[in-house]
Structures are given as structure tokens and as C-alpha cells.
A and B are shown apart, each in its own frame.
Chain A
Amino acid sequence: MTTDAKKVRRISQIRNGTVIDHLNPHRVFEVVKILYIDDTTEETVTVGTNLQSKVIGKKGIIKISNRFLTQEEVNRLSVISPNATVSIIEEYEVKKKFKVKFPQEVRAILNCPNPNCVTSIEEIETRFKLVQESPILLFCTYCERYCRENEIEIL
């Protein structure tokens, strides 16, 4: 068994699925939301928040059995929790580790902070371009307003 696998087993006893670790503890439930986990979800899901972490002080964690996140889904997390780590587990072993990568375009996840933006008025998908990763700076494709990390709001 690899060291990684031991680590994962300490925080997760899932046999198959995905472990999302080192989440910003203030935004765990928003991550739940953007992964479309709700009362219709059939998989076993464990959500932990305000857990002690040697690396980031307090952290959040989500474990989803029998669901394997894609790189695209992982990238969506980065919008609100850029330091998260994602492990794909098979038979208690870490099969794959994703580095969260900020997508060049963010679609249908975030609200535009501009109340006079057409996306706040008409029923259309929001779209932001990534201008800068650190600190995060997004650009609304429609109203052309810049959006900073503290203005980012999940739909």
C-alpha cells in the first residue's frame, strides 16, 4: 500500500469514489452545491467541515462513494476552493490525484455581481473569462465587469 493510500484511508474509508480534501471550510456547502449533490443523490456522501489540518489550519472534506469526478468537475471547484486536492479511490487505493486547475472560462456556476447585467435579468447561463489566477480576477462576458474573489457568488 502506498503512503498516499494510507493517508487517504485515515480520512476516508470509502472503497470506490472521490475524496475532495483541503477545502476552504467556509465554502464546503457551496462545493456540495456545484457538484449537484442534493436530496436526489443516490451515492453515499460524507461532508466534514472545520476539521483540523496541519497544512491549512481548518479544512473541509467531502467523500462521495461510487462517483468519480472528471477533470472538468474538479476545475469547477477551483473557483471557490482553489487549494483543494482531489483523489480518485479504487479498492481503497488512490488511483489518480487531480491538481485543481482554474478553467479559462467559467460557465453557469457563478452569479454576476452586477445587478444590471443581462445575466441577472434574462434567463441565460453566466459566463466569465479568467483574467488572473492569483488573486482571482474574472471578467463577465456579457456586462464586461471585472469580478474579484470576494465578489464571487455561486448561483
Chain B
Amino acid sequence: MSTFEKRNIISMRDFTKDEILHVLEVAKVMDEEPSKYAHALEGKILATLFFEPSTRTRLSFESAMLRLGGGTMGFADPGSSSSKKGESLSDSIKIVESYADVIAMRHPVEGSARLASEIADIPILNAGDGSNQHPSQTFLDLYTIQQEKGTLEGLKVGFMGDLKYGRTVHSLANALGQFGCELLFVSPKGLEMPSDSLEELARMGGKFKEFENFEEAKGDLDILYVTRIQRERFGDDLDYDKVREGYNISKKFLEGCSPDLRILHPLPRVDELSAEVDETPHALYFRQAANGIPTRMALIALVMGMVS
């Protein structure tokens, strides 16, 4: 395993299974003993460059840095950055790297984080590059699953909703494929997992099946990862309403599922996940969101060389 110090966190594809487990181990330490690291990054600065707004992800990165004793600066709105004036991304990164010690960056263009990492001498944390990668989300999803189930190996994991456009689904499925999980993809016609993602899973020997409705898939699932189906993906509202009915998770919908089934959702949810599910033991999504903090603390501390 190569050291994490000065490393960039760009894509889940850059990490081996052992490296993923190492990040999760550090996240656990951050989770259990946060006070031990409360001054670890004193005097260090995280720049949050959000060329595309994402309040929750930005706040989560900033909170993680503050809890490590560091400071933060940045912008949340591309309208207030120089990119609006036509500055290239390369120039923006060259300037900011002299102001900060680590950068968390979200950008609407795919590959922008990789490019930034080639330009900057300080570590880049990809907080989402277009529809490509969002590795800190995947790490926190994995951390949540491991924390709940005690392992990532050999689980039966369902993915339900818009599997075509959901980047969190693609990289989580890919990572779980490495751990020998059995993956069940449930999606309406037209929003299935992209063939590229399935072929990649097949090349790595991943086990998966596709379904159109949850009934056939629910059996003895350990985890169900739900994503929102957006109205704009459908030609007319009637089609959308028809599909939505079959993908609306309520207490009744979950009848017949294993009592140990846990539900994850990258949030925000709209009506695909009924509020009545919140009070059931199945609901894991709020803990999942909270896990963003220790996971991002771990990533920052690792790339800054504060933990080995």
C-alpha cells in the first residue's frame, strides 16, 4: 500500500481494496476519538473551490477541516470566482495552491479534478467532477455499510432508482464489486445501469443481476441503496407518475424484507423514501450523512500526512 501523504483523492478507481479499508479504519478512529485530532491541523488551510454549488458537501468538508483544528476558505458560488471572467481552471488552481495546504473541489466538468491534481503540488480532494466521480461520498457510503454490517465482504446489496445518471451508484457498485458483494440493480426502463459500468463489473468478476421491480429482488438483501428518480428524465408526467409508484419506499413496501435490511440514500430525498421509514430500524441514511464528517476528516488527515 502506498502512503497517503500528498496523495490526491480523485477517483475510487485509484484505490486498491486494502487502501479503501485503510481509509475506513482511519475514519473509525476519527469517529470514535475526534478530540484526539482536534488540533492536528492547526495552522493549515483547506480551500473549498465549488465551481458548482453543493452546500452539503462543502459544509461537510469545512466541518471536517475545522474539527481537525484547521481553517477553511473558498467560494460556494461560481459566479463569485474568476472562472466567471473566463479564467482557465489551470490558472485558478495555480493561484489557489499558493494560498492553501489542501483543496476540496467540485466542478461541473468531468476530469477537472484529475487535471487540477496534475497542476497543483498540494493534494486535491475531488468533491464531484460532473457525472464522473465523487469519491468522498463513496468512502462514506462504504464506511456506513461496514460500520453497520461489520464487513464489506460478500454482502447482498440492492440499488434502486435512477441507476443511469447516479454517479454515487456507479462508483459504490464498482467498489462493492471488489469486495465480492452480490449486486442487484432495480430500475425503470431507460434508467438502467450504463452498459459500461456493468461491463467493468463483469471484467472484475463482480456478481450482479438486473430487475425492473423490487418485489423480485428484495429477498434477503442486506443493504438497499436508493436514489431519486427525477421528473425531467421522463418525456411526460404520466410516465413519471406511473414509474414513481413502483419506486416509492414506504413501510408497506418493505414488508417481506429482512428485518436486518438497512436503507441508504445519498440525500436529498423527495418522495421516493417516505418519512414513515425514518422511524424504522431500516433507516440508515441520516447516520450515512453524518458519517461524511469522520470520513472526510480521515481523507484530509491522510493526505496531509497527519496520520499514516
Residues of A within 8 A of B (CB): 114, 116-119, 121-124, 140-146
Say whether A118 contacts B89, CB under 8 Å: yes
Bitwise interface map of B from 70 to 111 toward A, beta carbon under 8 Å scored 1, else 0: 000000000000000000111000000000000000001111
With A122-B90, A124-B115 given, is the CB distance from A144 to B109 under 8 Å?
Answer: no
CB distance from A139 to the nearest CB of B (A): 9
With A143-B130, A144-B133 given, is the CB distance from A117 to B109 under 8 Å?
Answer: yes
Between A and B, 7 residue pairs with Cβ closer than 8 Å are A116-B130, A119-B111, A123-B88, A141-B114, A143-B132, A144-B133, A145-B196
Please name 20 further chain A to chain B contacts, defined as beta carbons within 8 Å, in addition to the given A116-B108, A117-B111, A118-B89, sorted by A numbering.
Answer: A116-B109, A117-B109, A118-B111, A118-B112, A122-B88, A122-B90, A122-B115, A123-B88, A140-B111, A141-B114, A142-B110, A142-B114, A142-B115, A143-B110, A143-B111, A143-B130, A144-B133, A145-B196, A146-B196, A146-B200
User: B138 in the interface, Cβ–Cβ < 8 Å?
Assistant: no
Q: In the assembled complex, which residues on chain A have CB atoms less than 8 Å from the CB atom of B111? A: 117-119, 140-144
Say whether B110 contacts A145, CB under 8 Å: yes
Determine the residue in chain B with the shortest Cβ distance to A142: B111
User: B11 in the interface, Cβ–Cβ < 8 Å?
Assistant: yes
Q: In the assembled complex, which residues on chain B have CB atoms less than 8 Å from the CB atom of A123? A: 88
User: B13 in the interface, Cβ–Cβ < 8 Å?
Assistant: yes
> Which 3 residue pairs spanning A and B have beta carbons closest together?
A142-B111, A143-B110, A118-B111
Say whether A118 contacts B13, CB under 8 Å: no
With A116-B130, A122-B88 given, is the CB distance from A144 to B112 under 8 Å?
Answer: no
Q: In the assembled complex, which residues on chain A have CB atoms less than 8 Å from the CB atom of B11? A: 144
Q: In the assembled complex, which residues on chain B have CB atoms less than 8 Å from the CB atom of A118? A: 89, 109-112, 114-115, 129
Say whether B115 contacts A144, CB under 8 Å: no
CB distance from B76 to the nearest CB of A (A): 21
Determine the residue in chain A with the shortest Cβ distance to B110: A143
Q: Which of A118, A142, A146 has most B Cβ within 10 Å?
A: A118
CB distance from B92 to the nearest CB of A (A): 11
